[in-house]
Structure 1
Amino acid sequence: MKHVATLGALALCLLSPSALAELPYQIVDTNQTSAYGQGLGQDAHFVGASPTYRDNDDGTVSDTVTALMWTQDPGEKITYAEAVKRASSLRTGGYNDWRLPTIKELYSLIQLNGVDPDPKANSSANLRPFIDDSVFAFAYGDVSKGERIIDAQYVSATQYVSTTMNQNDTVFGVNFADGRIKGYPIKNRRGEKTFFALYVRGNPEYGQNQFVDNQDGTITDEATGLTWMKADSGQGMDWPDALAYAGSATFAGHSDWRLPNAKELQSIIDYSRSPDTTDSAAIDPLFESTAIANEAGQKDFAHYWTNTTHVSTRSNRAATYFAFGRSLGWMGRDGQKQLMDVHGAGSQRSDPKTGDPAKLPFGRGPQGDVVRINNLVRLVRGGAVEPVDAPIVEQSARQRRAPPGEGSEARPQRRARSQ
């Protein structure tokens, strides 16, 4: 349980309860309650609107923070086309206005206290998914059918405005097994990809930003109550330096700037933009975004750190970032490593918090995700958060079990079943 404490420079200007109640785009807390190592300004040092769900006992779940209602059970995996078609005929709970969620609606359900499995694992023991499986039906990939444990991708209605892999049409989804957003080819040479699908209704304004330029180098999103620096850091830094950069920042008359958590940073992504289609970062042009030369020497845009640790069974030494430019990976083709946009601008992945990226020249993971480590920073302040103390978990090179309070306890799991 997060508890209030005096953290000096982390003191924040909070929204009043009445203002909070009026926000159409209320950001749900990540539910990450442990800090990893001694650095201040981590996700666990700030508490926001805690995830709160109501099981309606009719196959639906109400999120009392976002005012969104969800179907409870994704059923069997289906293709993107089938998921889109199903929405119009769905009558769960007696409602007929279900829709396939946008990527911002779907990401509202993520809880970053999950534990990312080893992609080669064949057991889900000691894991915790990145969604509340005491409320929603959830299942890891079915190893008996040749799937990986991590094959629990949930599809959204948000298609990537460019293409990924080998010029494949792509749709964004959230993987609630490994805690990432990726763009997935709708169809490739092996056929159409299948996904789990949850449906949503209510609050049509959720995920729609209302940016106001304050003419002082800051931009306020009146939909979320967050105020952002208009410019980014201009240069990359590792994660400890990013936390320190945020902790020492004084700008526009305020000293309560912080590194955003994953859900806060995702809220300002503009999924209608990409380097290949708008020659820009995936963000509203009100913001200033530093252009970079990527690993192929192309004009591109950066990865941006969050203050959220990405915990896996192997380590807690990685942190979450978002790609505001191409989400590159080194893929094997004809015996050669080829660099390509594997997951799309707006994806969420993770990098080691420190280290030398030159030691991983062909990336890491199944898609060879490029490793930069020295990522850019865009700071935020305000919103419905308060500073807290948090239990500290020692940073480990290898972690087989989740830390206390972060998923090591046994929990009942609702299994996905046919709808």
Structure 2
Amino acid sequence: MQYLFENQSFKISVLTITIGALVGCSQQLQVITNNETPLPKVQFIVVDTSQDNCFDNSGSEIICPAENNVLYGQDAQYLGVQASYTNNGDGTVTDNNTGMMWQKTPDYDHYSYENAISYCKNLSIAGNTDWRLPTIKELFSLADFRGEIVNPRNESENTPYIDTDYFDFEYDKRMAYIGQYWSITKYTLGPVHDTEDVEAAFGYNFADGHIKAYETGYTFGTNNKNIHAPGNFVRCVRGEENVYGVNDFVKNNDGTITDQATGLMWQQSDDGVRRDWQTAIVNAKTSNLAGYSDWRLPNIKELQSIVKYGGKVGSWPAINTNIFTLTGSGDTSDPLWFWSNTTQGDFKYTATYISFSKAFSKKNSSASKYYDWHGAGAQRSDPKSGIPSDYDMSSENATDLVMTKNYTLMVRTVK
């Protein structure tokens, strides 16, 4: 071991430098230049959604049903890896499951996509300067599905989709639904919205609980700036890159796939049947695929864990097609939308799904043409029952295509 400084009272190793013990020595030891902590080690652990109530098809809260009930199998009835955070008392929060360290308090300014990247790159908190904009899977790891918007005009009645015991959050003063936070993850499969040339990147809305693609301010496939550059919020992260969200799939040659990164076993191919939410739940819990009897409908964070973000233009679906087989056509009559067992907090008569194909919307309720408005890999919600014409899923910005029957990929936890 080589020593940088030595006298009769102490030695300092290049491998073990303890700043606190060296009062008055900082000028002598030029190697000690900052207070940065080591880059956190990261694990791909799918943290539970924290949803703790059960609901019927109309959205009414119910006592979680018994195992022989058709509505048994909801998110709240399966205890996953529970969220665990540490407030470090220095403006940062550590996720004790994933290892990632997060910015506790955003500055609540709206940033364009490129400015969001620069903001994190230039951020210094608690002596750490290696902050970055998170991927969409990293960002979604913070999602807490106890959230809901009860009254858009009175934020005190609302609950954000993030644990405010640890993370600071403010609703946008213009509208309670505006709570979009950028991720670094660009949508590469095609343009979005109704101009057919808008480049987008994914974000998560901690106000209303959805993953959607938002305009970066560039024209798709070019470096040309355009007028579509809305501002989103930013919450930066630090930790090892290219770990969280990286799958390690193994084919079991029995109709199942094991993700060795997360410890989840998946149905390899959907069965080609679109079902309403209740029937999807029943189908999963009664399955004996590959001899296992503990299949279930995945929660929304488990389902999002197998999305393949990125890829070449037009390479739908947003999943590893060397591993999984999705049978639908992916068009507006048969979109590749897959149920989770997680109820959407804002509209509890709906359940969340992942769109592995285009996330179709149209400009408004009177428009006729649907576009890939939010991108493959978006997380939205559909009514649990009924027929699509019974519902109008319109907002001020778009009218989503509505389905009341979606596909399923079952999951089980590897023992």
Same fold (TM over 0.5): yes
**CA offset digits 1:81-102 (Å, max 9, x no partner):** 1111122222212112211100
Aligned pair count?
Answer: 348
Residue type of the alignment partner of 1:90: L
- Counterpart for residue 326 of structure 1: 358
CA RMSD of aligned residues (A): 2.0
Q: How far is the alpha carbon of 1:359 from its aligned partner?
A: 3.2
| Change in CA separation of 1:159 and 1:85 when aligned onto 2, cut-off 3 Å | same
C-alpha contact (below 8 Å) 2:149/2:157 kept by paired residues: no
2:412 is equivalent to residue 374 of structure 1: no
Q: Distance in 1 between matches of 2:85 and 2:136?
A: 19
C-alpha contact (below 8 Å) 2:330/2:357 kept by paired residues: no
C-alpha contact (below 8 Å) 1:117/1:149 kept by paired residues: no
Q: How far is the alpha carbon of 1:125 from its aligned partner?
A: 2.7
Q: Distance in 1 between matches of 2:124 and 2:74?
A: 42
1:18-417 equivalences in 2 (<5 Å): 24-37=43-56, 38=65, 39-75=71-107, 76-117=109-150, 121-143=152-174, 148-161=175-188, 162-165=190-193, 166=195, 167-187=197-217, 191-204=228-241, 205-273=243-311, 277-278=314-315, 280-285=316-321, 286-292=323-329, 294-295=331-332, 301-312=335-346, 315-332=347-364, 336-360=367-391, 363-366=393-396, 367-383=398-414
**CA offset digits 1:360-411 (Å, max 9, x no partner):** 4x75334111111100000000158xxxxxxxxxxxxxxxxxxxxxxxxxxx
**CA offset digits 1:328-366 (Å, max 9, x no partner):** 012149x74331111000000001100111334x75334
Q: TM-score scaled to structure 2, two decimals?
A: 0.80
| Change in CA separation of 1:190 and 1:124 when aligned onto 2, cut-off 3 Å | farther
Q: Distance in 2 between matches of 1:259 and 1:249?
A: 11
* Higher RCO (Cα < 8 Å, 6 or more apart): 1
| Change in CA separation of 1:293 and 1:58 when aligned onto 2, cut-off 3 Å | closer
C-alpha contact (below 8 Å) 1:330/1:363 kept by paired residues: no
Matched residue of 1:351: which SS? Answer: strand
Identity of aligned residues (%): 38
> What are structure 1's unaligned runs of at least 5 residues?
1-21, 385-419
Q: Distance in 1 between matches of 2:330 and 2:177?
A: 32
> What are structure 2's unaligned runs of at least 5 residues?
1-40, 57-64, 66-70, 219-225
Q: TM-score scaled to structure 1, two decimals?
A: 0.79
C-alpha contact (below 8 Å) 1:281/1:301 kept by paired residues: no
Matched residue of 2:293: which SS? Answer: coil
